[in-house]
Chain A
Amino acid sequence: MTKIGLEIHCQLTKLESKLFCSCKANYRENKPNSNVCPICMGLPGTLPRLNKKAVEKATLIAMALNCSTPEKIAFFRKNYFYPDLPKNFQITQLNIYGDTSVGGTGEIMVGDKKIRITRIQLEEDPGRLIYEGSSSKNQITLVDYNRAGTPLVEIVTEPDFENPKQVREFLKILSDLLENLNVSDPSLEGAMRADANVSIEGGNKVEIKNINSFHDLEKAVHFEITRQESLYSRDIPIALETRHWDDQRKITISSRSKEEDLDYRYFLEGDIPWVRIGKDIQEKLKSEMPESIMSKKERYVTKYNIPEQVADVLSSDKYYSDLFDKSNDEQNAKEIANIITTDLMGLVDTREKREQSKLTSSHLRDLADSIQSEKLTRNSAKNALYEIVKSGKDLSEIISQLDLGNVSDENELLQIIQQVLSEEPQAAEEAKSNPQTINFLVGKVMQKTKGKADPKLTLELFKKKLG
């Protein structure tokens, strides 16, 4: 049986500052080595100053993944030399001397499969290495410490996954959960990274490191299973080893370094006293925790009678569920759910588009009301939505600007109907005996009004006229 375990590293991108200093947690878009201070550069004499908010956010993640949460947590030093580590040790957490990291064991359902969580720990991200130069002779390594000290949550699972599909489903659930908790933005480059361990029946465990996105994680796992199966089928032993994910070539390669042999000499970080997260604090955190995706979905189905599939889509994406919850007033809930899941999704399917979108919840409310009161056809509403996302103008302004309003004036419609009847004498004649043909004529009216004719009224008028 194939066994896959994951170590997910998730940056708490929604925090203002780093884990131990007041430099920005969002190091992106800064010139190299400009988002640094004596503390995150590990200068002699500096001490870590724990960001309490980071502890709270990490605890929220542990709670949301149904992990145990100890009342007292501690930090440890992981000692190793590496140029991206300013202190040449990393401040992290550990459970070998008792449960002292933010999260202990827990579990989460992925479809019908139960995935056990081993632990959740809070730690500092190292800096970033950039390699320049092509040949080994002129290769240089540049170090950018802007990222050093960014709060990172590590989520470790048991080797409970059996195939890449389960991994993918888990990652989807996890990203949605992190986004919903408002702790992290999984779409930011480098915000989610992972290591994986993979073993197939009869083979040794292989660690894969350096996987820089969730997208590649599934690929890496898939690649590694295929590689191991191919070896196995040819009776070549699968070595117990650490491999690196090459994100250019999308393959795993054996690591020459003996990372597995490193002795990290873990010991308690004396500069950070034990942090108490007592039952009282935990209760408070729980009460402030955003509604879970599961509970949102249930609410949408039972309260608004929204179909399960639509509710699923709405609830799992915080952007959509926030919009939905803000705009609906129960009467228009189904209509708004409909607009979001059929028309809006195509318009704001990326991070950039969402950031640029000018749409507000009141726009959605106006749109739904206009459709319900038959001021707008669904088709016109779709066109209006496109304009709103682009310009952010009021719906009324867009309706008059694009001339989208329904034609529901009887006289005006009668004129158009008369015109259609004279242009289509054969159909007009046929329609008297065959009601199907009336639809054809209504369609013609729609064409002439660019879809704005009130369809009910048009039909009625035709019937009267031909009756």
Chain B
Amino acid sequence: MNLKISALEYVEQVKNGNISAEDFVSATIDRIKNVDDKLHAFLQVNSKAVEQAAQVDKKVKSGEKVGSCFGMPISIKDNICIKHSKTTCASKMLENFVAPYDATVISKLKEQDAVFIGKANLDEFAMGLTTEFSAYGPSRNPWNTDYVPGGSSGGSAVSVSAFECVASLGSDTGGSVRNPASFCSTVGYKPTYGLISRYGLISYANSIEQIGPITRTVKDTAFMLNILSGLDSHDNTTIDNENVDYLSGIEAGIEGKKIGIIQEMIGEGIDHTVLSATNDAVSKLEGLGAICEPISIDMVKYSVASYYTITATEAGSNLARYDNLRYGYDFPVEGFEFNSYISKARTKFGPEVIRRMILGGFVPSSGHAGKYFLKSLKVKSKLTREVTEAFKKYDFLVAPTVPILPFKIGEKIDDPVALFQVDINTVMSNLTGVPSISVPYAISNGLPIGIQLLAKQNDDKSLLQAAHALETTVNLPEVPI
């Protein structure tokens, strides 16, 4: 069984009866058994996956109406709720939390006959960019298992890259989909804020994060977006996209489009191989008929500070509910008074979460809010104005997804500020709500480099067209695992 096919190819093959969903899912489970000891993409594998795929085959055979996923095995980041299954956020705090409901994206995929192959590893509560902060151990980069796969949706990107599934759902608060996509050589998409319902995504920084697909091709992302996007009465922040078909016209090309190269994202600290890959990508875009020019977005230099202040504030509030009184892990309340119980119960949080809780308690507090939190909000709105201005002039913006190559596990874990700086190229689209995509572009010394494209709000369809155009210029080797 060839597992190395795209989502669209999978659908075609099952539809035509060339392969059965059951065989494919069963082979995928075997693949996970073979490689996941080394990679640790999964926190949990669905023991009923093969059975569920067989049900889809029955539908296909009987001529019954089949959902557009045809039993496709999809991995789900373990901060998205699937009814009756454990959702841990890779935290000991939620070790025993079984979600009593489906996230909206899960309901939508179920309707389309997707099979959830397993729950993917992440940095605890999605805080991190390496998966090293998972309470259940890090995932490893399939291109070189000594290296981090990126994060926080590291497990998702690894599972797609190493053929342990066909596609995955991650979540992106400051690059958490695009960063591991770049490090693992997959496509990673952060939609316009509100395009995909967040209902059932366990919040980290709710005002800027989105669920996003991780796939092998840009077309696969468009396919997933067709299923996932749209208004949801369960999420008041969703927007009406009028059921746009993201796949149709995806080959439109970028002839005559204007693209701005963000100077602040290719400056100081950038790895030279990443820089030359970016320059190469720019010349490819020009070769496709686009007009590329340098552009400066001044506020980028404050964006990481602003991002960590805002996310810490929201995280401090979003994670306050984990007092272990209503759900969580086994720890009886008898003999405790409320405050002493919760402070004891909350020691199950890992170090990165605790660091951000402390930060989140401080930066918005009275006497300090003006200097930190409110100032960060000002940076956010100023940055948004600058980006809006830029999109008056340019159709797309381009930059490397991450300014450096994947690094070794353990290399940066003790230097949180250095880790924070790695987010410099990705946080902008979260702070401003615009869509962005990471496209696999090059391999340097066996390590992947991704190129990021951004478009203005609600211009997701054109962004996918541009990304697809860039993707057609690329020919990458196969993952060595």
Q: How far is the CB of A271 from chain B (nearest CB, A)?
A: 6
B97 interface residue per 8 A CB criterion: yes
**Within the complex, which residue of A41, A81, A268, A273 is in contact with B339, where a contact is CB–CB below 8 Å?**
A81
Q: Which residues of B contact A77 (CB under 8 A)?
A: 317
Whole-angstrom distance between the Cβ of B165 and the nearest chain A Cβ: 22
Q: Provide a sorted-by-A list of 8 A–B residue pairs whose CB atoms are within 8 angstroms.
A: A38-B101, A45-B87, A45-B101, A45-B203, A89-B320, A263-B366, A267-B364, A267-B373
**Chain B, residue nearest A89 (CB):** B317
Among B99, B198, B208, B317, point to the contact of A265 (Cβ < 8 A).
B317
Give complex CA distance A41, B317 in Å: 16
List, in ascending order, chain B residues with CB within 8 A of A45's CB. Answer: 79-81, 87, 99, 101, 103, 199-203
CB distance from B161 to the nearest CB of A (A): 26
**When the two chains form their complex, are residues A43 and B327 in contact, meaning their CB atoms are under 8 A apart?**
yes
Tell me whether A44 and B321 are in contact in the complex, defined as CB-CB below 8 angstroms, given that A86-B326, A273-B237 are known contacts: yes
Chain B binding site: helix, strand, loop or mixed by DSSP? Answer: loop
Interface-lining segment among B27-35, B52-60, B228-236, B264-272? B228-236
- Residues B80-101 near A (CB distance < 8 A): 80-81, 87, 89, 94, 97, 99-101
Q: In the complex the two chains form, is A88's CB within 8 Å of B320's CB?
A: yes
Distance between A258 CB and nearest chain B CB, rounded to angstroms: 12
Q: Is A47 an interface residue (CB 8 A)?
A: yes
Interface membership of chain B positions 128-157, coded 1 if the CB is closer than 8 angstroms to chain A and 0 otherwise: 000000000000000000000000000000
A45, A77, A86, A267 — most chain B CB neighbours (10 Å): A45
Q: Is B323 an interface residue (CB 8 A)?
A: yes
Question: In the bound complex, do residue B100 and residue A44 qualify as a contact, i.e. CB atoms below 8 Å apart?
Answer: no
Q: Among residues 7 to 58 in chain A, which have CB atoms less than 8 Å away from a CB atom of chain B? A: 38, 41-50
CB contact under 8 A between A38 and B321, given known A44-B89, A271-B236, A272-B236: no
Q: What are the nearest 10 A-B pairs in CB distance?
A: A270-B207, A88-B320, A44-B202, A45-B200, A265-B364, A45-B81, A87-B321, A45-B202, A270-B206, A42-B321
* Min distance, Cβ B359 to any Cβ of chain A, angstroms: 12
* Closest Cβ–Cβ distance, residue B179 to chain A (whole Å): 22
A70 within 8 A of B: no
**Residue ID in chain A nearest B200 by CB atoms:** A45
Judged by a CB distance under 8 angstroms, whether A401 is at the interface is no
Closest to B326 in A: A41
8 Å CB interface, B184-220 against A: 198-203, 206-208
Report how many residues on chain A are interfacial, defined by Cβ distance under 8 Å: 30
A44 to B234: give the CA distance in the assembly, Å.
14
Q: How far is the CA of A349 from the CA of B436 in the complex (A)?
A: 66
Residue of B nearest to A145 (CB): B326
Contact residues of B between 216 and 254, Cβ < 8 Å to A: 233-237
Considering only residues 78-101 of chain A, those with a C-beta below 8 Å from chain B are 79, 81-83, 86-89
Residue B331 is within 8 A (CB to CB) of chain A in the complex: no
Q: Which of B328-369 contact A (CB under 8 A)?
A: 338-339, 342, 361, 364-366, 369
Q: CB of B429 within 8 A of chain A?
A: no
Instruction: Decide if A411 is an interface residue (CB 8 Å cutoff).
Output: no
CA distance A185 to B316 in the complex (A): 37
In the complex, which residues of chain B have a beta carbon less than 8 angstroms from the beta carbon of A272?
236-237
Q: Which residue of A49, A50, A268, A270 has the most chain B CB atoms within 10 A of its CB atom? A: A270
Separation of A48 and B338 alpha carbons in the complex (Å): 26
Decide yes or no whether B325 CB sits under 8 A from chain A: yes
CA distance A38 to B234 in the complex (A): 12
Contact between A79 and B317 (Cβ–Cβ < 8 Å)?
yes
Q: Does A141 contact B (CB under 8 A)?
A: yes
Q: How far is the CA of A38 from the CA of B326 in the complex (A)?
A: 11
On whether the beta carbons of A47 and B198 are closer than 8 Å, the reply is: yes
Does B314 have its Cβ within 8 Å of any Cβ on chain A? yes
A82 CA to B314 CA, complexed, in Å: 18
A86 touches B236 (CB 8 A): no
Q: Is B303 an interface residue (CB 8 A)?
A: no
A265 partner residues in chain B, CB cutoff 8 A? 313, 316-317, 361, 364-366, 369
* Chain B residues positioned under 8 Å from A273 (CB to CB): 236-237
Closest Cβ of chain A to B272, distance in Å, is 39
Name the A residues within 8 Å of B342 (CB-CB). Answer: 81
The interface bits of chain A over 241-274 (1 if a CB of B lies within 8 angstroms of the residue's CB, else 0) are: 0000000000000000000000101011011110
A415 to B364, CA, bound (A): 94
Residues of A373-416 contacting chain B, CB below 8 A: none
Residue of A nearest to B99 (CB): A45
Residue of A with least CB distance to B199: A47
| Contact between B206 and A271, CB atoms less than 8 A apart | yes
Q: Given contact pairs A263-B366, A265-B361, enumerate 8 new A-B contacts (beta carbons under 8 Å).
A: A44-B81, A49-B236, A82-B338, A86-B321, A87-B320, A267-B373, A270-B237, A272-B236
| CB-based nearest B residue for A33 | B326
CB-defined contacts of B235 to chain A, threshold 8 Å: 47, 49, 271
Bound state CA distance, A86 and B320, in angstroms? Answer: 9
Within 8 A of B (CB), among A94-139: none
Q: Tell me the nearest residue of chain A to B201, going by C-beta.
A: A45
CB distance from A131 to the nearest CB of B (A): 12
* Interchain CB contact under 8 A, B314 and A49: no
